[in-house]
Structure 1
Amino acid sequence: MFPTYVVLCSACLWNLFLQVTQERVIEESTDDFSFDGLPGAQHEFKIEVPASQEECFVQRVAQNANLHASFEVLRGGDRIVDFYVKDGYNNMIKEITYKSEGSIEYTAPINGNFQICVQNIHSRFLSKLVYIYIVTVVEEEWSKYVAEIEGLHTAVQNFTTSITEVQKSIDKVRLHQATSRMNVIKDWYLLTGNNAYVMYWSVFQIVSILATSCFQVYFVRKLFNIPNVTPSSKPRA
């Protein structure tokens, strides 16, 4: 069984059986300074992985860019999958096996296309709904801004340090928000599942009570149903 590959890009998103919740692409930084101007990309989506199959995505990562990929299985059987990242030469970089959630951090030494794959090989009959969050950021691009300021002979060392710390804090907040959204989605599926279970079980109990009551009424009526004649067809005294 060959895996399915999907290319993640800033201009297009895949629609093949992907239920995309949100995509945000961080554009290239311009001449105007922006706190949100780091080059890179951010993707978050849900995907249904069929039983005994895997789904792969190809993400372009720049040299020295930080790649963060995390996942969480929202529903489907035991909620166990395998998650791994490979480089453009099909070499395994990092792998998470037999887990329901996890994350991978990697700094790309060169430009390349990285494969991010989810395997549902531990289940032969049940598909898994998996939430995936991918972000790539080139923090070294901040040095270009620093060089421009230094070219103006401006003492900006403390300012640069503060901006770097702010950007790191923003990245941490984004990761925390993604984790919170995953928990909310997981709780929603758990709530709807429990509601369906209670409803079906209640209907089953109501049907059982009605069937038992009908049987009891029928049995009691048959018990007191005495014929007016004897077995020899004579009137009963």
Structure 2
Amino acid sequence: AIYQALYIEGRGALRRELTTALRTGRALRVPRARAKRGKSFLSAEVMIAARPAEANDRAVPGHWEGDLILGLGGVAIGTLVERTTRFTMLLHRSPMDEHKMIGAQVKNGPATAGHGADAVCDAIARTITGLPATLRKSLTWDQGAEMAQHARLRIQTGLPIYFADPHSPWQRPSNENTNGLLRQYFPKGTDFTRYALVDLDGVAKTLNERPRKTLGFKTPAEAMNELLLTASTGVATTG
């Protein structure tokens, strides 16, 4: 109701002074109902309906949500958020030699979606394999073409991959909320080629040291450290 009231003027557009105050900078609402298009790399076995029930209530750690944040020229960074702790990791991708964006398409030019999928797959593998196996239970992504190599990623990491239904961001709520917070640091139009891995790690550290009410005012870093300690000792911690 609040958004309906804000967007009602100007045929669905916010006044300019209100638009500048939005974290996302989105001046127009995006209709939820759209035509659904299937992806050739998807099957019923990898859809979110097949994800283990334990991932839904957040009681069992190790289930992740992921997405891309697009910047200037289509260059993107990846985000991974653990559902139980809300711990965030950012994926750094060096621009491709021939094409500077994931899934970039030039009219009558070479197909580049495969290169984008390979780059995303490699970035996830590098990041996720640094975690104990107990914290690598599943990854839920949207249906973007950047995950066309999900089968290879599963073989490399042992991480089951699942896909949300089309146009259903609420099925990845932790990731969507985190991406909104990240827009404070990376507004729309950000040139991600200017950022090195150390820069992204710094932003992730800032988010992970932010106390969360949903965690009893612990930080995601504290919650994750407790899980890592439990994984290494086999003894549950309290506090």
- TM (norm. structure 1) is 0.26
Larger radius of gyration: 1
Higher helix share: 2
